[in-house]
Structure 1
């Protein structure tokens, strides 16, 4: 079977790197950089796999999941994000994504996420590490923000913090040391 990968990523340098990596792994790759191009190319290219960035310039990649799923019901879809949170992961899966990965992502993790056989019984069970207080705070903020449908003012009121303080916290990416 010929694996065809559509990469919808607004960072052209990253899209090029991903395309080169996945071509070496046997995928036929096409890439585009915004939502409308993504839907058009999905119709024309008919990919078996899709890598979708969560932030496409001013657009939200989450809004593309349902139309892509309707157009390509059997596609394996992976959402990539630089701002990973449990709330957005749950939302992505609920909308129809098959997997959710935080950037940067290595080739092996990407291949596992794109593979329908990645959940073998032979795999070692994941070891759960406790989240750091900073990471817990980030996850809680993302969850409340999601409940408020992205409304920063309503989220700040609900969390009992100043809107500008919340905006500063939202600009900070959770890093590996936040785990």
Structure 2
């Protein structure tokens, strides 16, 4: 695998190192040892799939609060998405900054998302399917979210939004959420000591 760190420390683009022949290619999509060698979370508690039927669908921006923070490895298996992550680590020099990466069935690229990050995406094609591995089990009581259209985030979604859930549309804006978010995501809090804090 080929790991390229983004401007958000600890978040990596992960490319498959392809072994090609006349049949196509073969490559490793995940290796515990390679992730551990980089100090990345390598435990997988859940593997999830999601399919969006409409081009322009937005999902996110989702995260879990400590102590249930989760690292994710997201890959688009069919179609294409613009995958967006936001740094929610208040001690980070890139707090509330984001990175956007195109993932597609064609490029077979993945995005490694550390704990204490928000994650969301927009589908760029109809019938798009994603697969992601999460280091922690889904914890409904710990879930949180940012508005995908929050002006403070200034995310440039490439398409008009064709579909978004009511839940994702009704997260609080950062102007009311930021103080509480920073306090709950602080590594100084005992309950914030999670897998990647």
Question: Would the TM-score normalized by the shorter structure come out above 0.5?
Answer: no
Higher radius of gyration, 1 or 2? 1
Quick check: which one's helix share is greater? 1
Quick check: which one's strand share is greater? 2
